[in-house]
Structure 1
Amino acid sequence: MNLSSSLMACLALAPLAQGARLSDRLESAHGRFLDDRRGAFTSLSDPFGVPPLAKIVLEDPRGRFSGPESWHRNVVSTVFWVGELPSENNPTPNTASAWDGNWQANFGGYDHPEKRDGFLPTGFVPALNPFYIALPYNDIGRDGRHRPEASTVIPWFWEDYRGEGISVCKDRWVAIHHEGRVCYAQWEDVGPFETDHFQYVFGKDAPRPNRNQNAGIDLSPAVRDFLGLRSGESVEWRFTHDREVPAGPWRDWSPEPGLPRR
């Protein structure tokens, strides 16, 4: 029975009391019609098909970076640099990074680990931040898409998400502590050795065994020199937010003066 027929049937069954007004009869018919419709959908909690409210996801990773538990402690560090060629302990050339196929060209040249002018390589001023690090996780898989677990394990994933295949890890700020000094650097490459160890990078696991004394972080020459360490020494590190990055030589490479890049 269609809507029109249902209304007519209900109207016909409406009480025909002496002197009943048409408006009263219509109101009675409408009530009968609604009761009939409700009865036809007794198994449904929402017979009129109203969509549910959108689920609001509140993501605030700031607290995850502030407590003492957020530090990764006693992590062996190694030194790497833009333009580094393959070796026994570094099988992957660093002319490109995991997220930048033209890393050395975009950096502006070879970040020589020995020929230094302060925190910079001798002979040129880098176009990119010379304070950089590598950690053993790549949020982009071989297929060019985000890894299946990325949105779950990376605390800031949805906060920084800019589209499929665009890394939310690249340029992330990291604080590195060694013997009373703290240096700030940006995550620019993946390693040492591993590319999928999210249980360590975002969790509490130790770095996986490797031939570099189980190293868990690669540091640029500028980070090495600021902290006054040698390759193979242990450090502590944690992620940090932009607003927590203090003034220092690592802030001179921002797109806007006085503001660090993410």
Structure 2
Amino acid sequence: MQRRISSIIILVLCTLTSVASAQRLSSPTAPQDPFKKQAYPWKQNITATVFWIGEKPTPRNPTPNHASSWDTKWQVNFGGYDNPNPAARTYGFRPKAFRPKQNPFYVALPYNDKINWRRHKPEASKVIPWFRKYQPKPGKTVCKGRWLQIVHGRKVCYAQWEDCGPFCTDDYKYVFGSSRPKNSKNNAAGIDLSPAVRDYLGFKSGAKVHWRFIDFENVPKGAWSKYGTNNPFVNPAMDADLIAKRRYMEYLRQQRDRSRGKNS
């Protein structure tokens, strides 16, 4: 009997030790590899609306779209007015009037990580999963150009985050967390889709989509990989993940060399 009690005590102590170890490992203060692959969570059944570069203000949407939250010359840099009229678009999901200088597959989400060109918002470094990996200069956005995977019905599309909205620019609890959109307009819309995304998905404004962030290395080639100086498929210099990895590898090399120098 005494031997059995001793065995139970040992088992309980081992269990408590394992739990304590697991808690230490999962502590937010524990060091983490900034390049550890992440599975970004899905935002499900989100009301989506359609917007476009060059859209003029209306009583229901007073913000014009010739500029974005991160680009004061968005329409100029895109190459012109991204006419949403299906008759004014090609089967390649772009406007007929010109060849776009930027990716026509773009979206807006209701968060801006910047206060101004000098400062990030105080929560940005804590809530944006890839912020630490990029190590941005003060006031340099880490959201612009980020890729999303968007699902509507049986269609799957990929697009880049290029503006902020609908209606909000501070809803980080929804964009990066588990909350629903705090915006109450347009049936609580939580994402704006470009005409290219609309046409690819066969989507009507006001319908529901599922979306999540996705690292560029996991984005397959498709209609979204053909145009744009801001598009890593066209311009590899825009692959922020690759740039960050190279910077991190250089940091590790320097640390190794310093360690060897101390030990020699």
Q: TM-score, normalised by structure 2?
A: 0.73
Q: Is the 8 A contact 1:71 1:236 kept in 2?
A: yes
Select the residue among 131, 137, 142 that pairs with 1:168: 142
SS at match of 2:38: helix
CA distance 1:139–1:257, shift in 2 (3 Å): closer
1:113 and 2:113 are equivalent in the alignment = no
CA distance 1:96–1:258, shift in 2 (3 Å): closer
Select the residue among 143, 159, 164 that pairs with 1:190: 164
Q: Which runs of 5+ in 2 are unaligned?
A: 1-29, 241-264
Q: Is the 8 A contact 2:108 2:193 kept in 1?
A: yes
The alignment-based identity, stated in percent, is 51
Give deviations 1:17-67, integer Å, cap 9, x for gaps.
Answer: xxxxxxxxxxxxxxxxxxxxxxxxxxxxxxxxxxxxxx96522463232xx
Q: CA deviation at 1:162?
A: 2.8
Q: Is the 8 A contact 1:61 1:155 kept in 2?
A: no
Aligned counterpart, 2:73: 102
SS at match of 1:194: coil
Size of the aligned set, in residue pairs, is 204
For the residues of structure 1 that align with 2:81 and 2:158, how far apart are their CA atoms? 21
For the residues of structure 2 that align with 1:106 and 1:251, how far apart are their CA atoms? 18
RMSD: 1.9
Aligned counterpart, 1:157: 131
Q: Is the 8 A contact 1:89 1:211 kept in 2?
A: no
1:136 and 2:110 are equivalent in the alignment = yes
Give deviations 1:132-187, integer Å, cap 9, x for gaps.
Answer: 00000000015741000000000000212330111000000000000011100000
Q: Is the 8 A contact 2:116 2:139 kept in 1?
A: no
SS at match of 1:63: coil
Aligned counterpart, 1:124: 98
Give deviations 1:87-118, integer Å, cap 9, x for gaps.
Answer: 12322110000000000000000000002112
Task: Tell me which stretches of 4 or more aligned residues in structure 1 moved more than 3 Å.
Answer: 254-262
For the residues of structure 1 that align with 2:94 and 2:200, how far apart are their CA atoms? 11
Select the residue among 183, 191, 198 that pairs with 1:224: 198
1:62 and 2:62 are equivalent in the alignment = no
Select the residue among 237, 251, 259 that pairs with 2:211: 237
Aligned counterpart, 2:16: none
Give deviations 1:190-233, integer Å, cap 9, x for gaps.
Answer: 00001110000001100114221100000000000000010000
Structure ranking higher in helix proportion: 2
SS at match of 1:243: helix
For the residues of structure 1 that align with 2:239 and 2:117, how far apart are their CA atoms? 27
Q: Which runs of 5+ in 1 are unaligned?
A: 1-54
Aligned counterpart, 2:43: 72
For the residues of structure 2 that align with 1:120 and 1:143, how far apart are their CA atoms? 31
Q: Is the 8 A contact 1:89 1:212 kept in 2?
A: no
Select the residue among 141, 145, 153 that pairs with 2:119: 145
Q: Which has the larger radius of gyration?
A: 1
Q: Which amino acid aligns with 2:81?
A: Y
